[in-house]
A and B are shown apart, each in its own frame.
Chain A
Amino acid sequence: MSNSVPLTLHVPEPGCRPGDTPDFSGFEVPVAGETRRPDPLTAPEDIRDLAFSIVRVLDDDGEAKGPWAGTFEKEALLDGLRHMMTLRTFDDRMLRAQRQGKTSFYMQHLGEEAVACAFRLALRDGDMHFPTYRQAGLLIAGGYPLTTMMNQIYSNAADPIKGRQMPIFYSAKDHGFFSLSGNLGTQFVQAVGWGMASAISGDTKIAAAWIGDGSTAETDFHSAMVFASTYKAPVILNIVNNQWAISTFQGIARGNATTFAARGHGFGIPAIRVDGNDYLAVHAVARWAAERARSGHGSTLIEHVTYRSGGHSTSDDPSAYRAKEEGHSWPLGDPIERLKAHLISIDAWSDDRHKQAEAEIQDEVRFAQKEAEANGTLISGPAPSPRDMFEDVYAEMPPHLRAQRQEAGF
């Protein structure tokens, strides 16, 4: 009789939908400074607990606590704050530009600024990132010109990729930023190949792979884990868990059974969760993983626990599927506010200086925008030449493309 009960399909649901009161009481937030910091060369089986905890450095009062603290000098932290503020201001300007019709599309980083900005500073020039569409912080923290980013967003005459890709699909090899793809997860395994190539060549460079919580369900995530584990590839495998894949909550990609980080264990890849809204913690964990990779100990899986405070993109309205107040209830706070509080607590910063910095950054971004718009916008032009469309399909244009270009009149 035990098998006579009709079966039902289990479909996970988020705890909170529009109209509900957000409730994160089931979300365990470890006390800052309490998660242990093992030696980076510790065997994966001895640090399994790190896949279920969350490394946090900054506490609620902005104090840096515990064994993961202290990877930064004061001056570098001021730079870090500035990078995050610049990214947020940049996002704000570009969202407005999109609404003004100057470009077709934009994706912002609101609430997730610490992840890429802090991570970038833990890697070196020459290392290669294989980012998703929400890691522009890598460019900004790496000193890539804002104007060039905007040229790409506007698909204007100075767009380095000649208007061929949607806005924010940057490519910047010299800045360690691999060309973006809109097919999710594909680049996770490419990063592993890049790391393998560095090892094959006896190089000292490492790669960083990036993927979102939703895309870990892709087969390429599995492929990357298999290859990374088999060849001990020098690559840091980053999952940015911002809780939402467009309208789909993270539980759809993993069930509500475990953490994303825990996926590393089946592959023997050490896995660690970090407070993605804690600039200091992200940097410390990235540095720990980079040390492992650079010393020939292979890959590390990092789950950055954060929250996508804005919409998925300018084509998305999150109020249709999640409670408006959910972001305010998010227990890990805002990355900029938290770093600012820390800097104030160590007497390196003040509210006045913060306001002044905001004004400076506004000017800087506005200036970059003016400069970019002088090269054109998607609507006003000047645009890249239609002739460019036929270039770079191959290194050398084959006869059939030459004929088609001629037919098109270019």
Chain B
Amino acid sequence: MAQLTMIEAIQNAHDLAMERDDRVVVYGEDVGYFGGVFRCTAGLQQKYGTSRCFDAPINESGLIGTGIGMAAYGLRPVVEIQFADYMYPAYDQIVSEAARLRHRSAGDFTCPMVIRMPTGGGIYGGQTHSQSPEALFTHVAGLKVVVPSNPQDAKGLLCAAIEDPDPVIILEPKRLYNGPFDGHHDRPVVPWKKHELGEVDDAYYTTEIGKAAIRREGQDVTVLAYGTMVHVALTAAEETEVDAEIIDLRSLIPLDLEMIEASVKKTGRCVVLHEATKTSGFGAELSAQVQEACFYHLEAPIIRVTGWDTPYPHAQEWDYFPGPARVGAALKSVMKED
């Protein structure tokens, strides 16, 4: 057991997966010699050689396109898109090709490929280094979409994704790489070294894709969150003293509807959080699923707290980010008796 940052946990997952399976190859922009701009692949090229971890041209459609070919051959490519915001040139390859290969060939060809991409804001990245495009993937049949919120899950989910027979998108909240950021940008950063979810098993393990986790048990309102918003929700619950049950979805597709349903039926209230823009965001899907499954148990309308429907701003980052104040207000609002 070691105390690791999320970056170290992801690096460790790559390392162990490459060690146990020769088919795992890791590549992307700045991923090889340098070890990635966020250092998630540090040391892999030195350990496994240039044919298993290498630098790639700045060409996202080529990154994913070649990965599909490698996966079809029988390798297990793990490709890093440097920022989720750079994914768009590869969108055709992801949507029309990777996601559908198994179905369109009736299993003749498959695409066991992992696409990692740092996501979300909070680092003054402006509109081209802050986006959360998860809904653009959850809308696509054939993809799995996961979002870790801590080092333990980041390692387990990456290992599970590499073993998975289908393409898995991993959105890594970059603001969580070095600590469990809770939205209080004006306070010192708490490092993972002091957090229980920063305790990472040294051995290889997987975290099941499709299973959510309860981060705080509560009786009054269910909060559905993933990535950075899990930590914002925990802080908001503490600050408002609302007895919230906070569910860390971890996997958006497949979704752990069973856990969500059980929780909402217990609490009778639901608040949905994400950093991405609101309209047609994944929160709309969550909200629809909850009302379909739990309508007669609901005592208040479902509320979404999300980023605004604007491009992610630079100077106004903290006016955009759905921080603990906005989340806290939503918790109080669903608890109002009237």
Interface residues of A (CB under 8 A from B): 128, 130, 160-162, 164-165, 169, 171-173, 178-179, 181, 183, 186-201, 207, 219-220, 222-224, 226-227, 230, 391-395, 398-400
Complex CA distance for A202 and B1, rounded to whole angstroms: 36
Select the residue from A171, A191, A193 with max chain B CB neighbours within 10 A. Answer: A193
Instruction: Report whether B65 and A183 are in contact in the complex, using a CB–CB cutoff of 8 Å.
Output: no
B213 contacts the other chain (CB 8 A):
no
Complex CA distance for A130 and B110, rounded to whole angstroms: 14
25 A-B pairs whose Cβ atoms sit less than 8 Å apart in the complex: A160-B106, A161-B106, A171-B108, A173-B109, A179-B104, A181-B96, A181-B104, A190-B66, A191-B69, A192-B66, A193-B67, A194-B69, A194-B72, A194-B73, A198-B73, A200-B75, A201-B73, A223-B61, A223-B62, A227-B59, A227-B65, A230-B57, A394-B166, A395-B102, A399-B210
Instruction: Report whether A223 and B65 are in contact in the complex, using a CB–CB cutoff of 8 Å.
Output: yes
Complex CA distance for A400 and B65, rounded to whole angstroms: 28
Instruction: Report whether A186 and B104 are in contact in the complex, using a CB–CB cutoff of 8 Å.
Output: no
B62 to chain A, nearest CB (A): 3
Q: Please, which residues of chain A bring their CB within 8 A of the CB of B77?
A: 193
Given contacts A193-B68, A197-B70, A398-B253, contact A393 B109 (CB under 8 A): no
Instruction: Report whether B66 and A189 are in contact in the complex, using a CB–CB cutoff of 8 Å.
Output: yes
> From B106, which residue of chain A is reached at the shortest CB distance?
A161
Q: Please, which residues of chain B bring their CB within 8 A of the CB of A161?
A: 104-106, 108
- CB contact between A190 and one of B56, B97, B102, B142 (< 8 Å): that residue: B97
Q: Please, which residues of chain A bring their CB within 8 A of the CB of B92?
A: 183, 186, 220
Complex CA distance for A183 and B70, rounded to whole angstroms: 19
Interface residues of B (CB under 8 A from A): 25, 51-52, 56-57, 59, 61-62, 65-70, 72-75, 77, 89, 92-93, 96-97, 101-110, 141-142, 144, 165-166, 210, 253-255, 257-258
Excluding A178-B109, A189-B65, A190-B69, 19 further A-B contacts by CB distance (< 8 Å) are A160-B108, A164-B103, A164-B104, A171-B106, A178-B72, A179-B108, A187-B97, A189-B61, A196-B70, A197-B25, A199-B51, A226-B62, A227-B65, A392-B103, A393-B103, A394-B102, A394-B166, A395-B102, A400-B254
Given contacts A165-B104, A173-B109, contact A193 B65 (CB under 8 A): yes
B55 to chain A, nearest CB (A): 9
Complex CA distance for A188 and B57, rounded to whole angstroms: 16
Complex CA distance for A189 and B257, rounded to whole angstroms: 38
Instruction: Report whether B61 and A219 are in contact in the complex, using a CB–CB cutoff of 8 Å.
Output: yes
- CB contact between A197 and one of B73, B96, B104 (< 8 Å): that residue: B73
Given contacts A179-B104, A393-B103, contact A186 B96 (CB under 8 A): yes
Q: Please, which residues of chain B bring their CB within 8 A of the CB of A183?
A: 92, 96-97
Instruction: Report whether A227 and B62 are in contact in the complex, using a CB–CB cutoff of 8 Å.
Output: yes
